Amino acid sequence: MRIVVVLISAVLLLSAPLSGTYAAQDAPAIDGEMLFQARCALCHQLPEPAMLKARQWQLIINTMQKRMQHVNMVPLTEDEKTQLIYYLSQHARQ
């Protein structure tokens, strides 16, 4: 089941920029959500974005980047990292 979710998320992530079905101002949140589902679920169960504050998510993402590099996984690009942090910050605990 987890593999199916990851595969569907990856397909959506790759096809989203081509679809043009969302407004430009919505793009970071949508891409961030897809990145969250596709990339984070590769290693662990997805946490609830509202469980942490925005600043905590920034620290977590930076830590995960280092862990990804440590195990020879392709880390997020700066753009992906920005989109992911934006998505998590929009859904973070206040």
**Mean pLDDT in order along the chain per 10 residues (94 residues):** 47 42 50 93 94 96 95 93 95 95
The H or E element containing residue 28 is helix 27-39
Task: Tell me what pLDDT residue 44 has.
Answer: 93
CA distances from 45 to 3, 8, 31, 40 (A): 12, 16, 19, 8
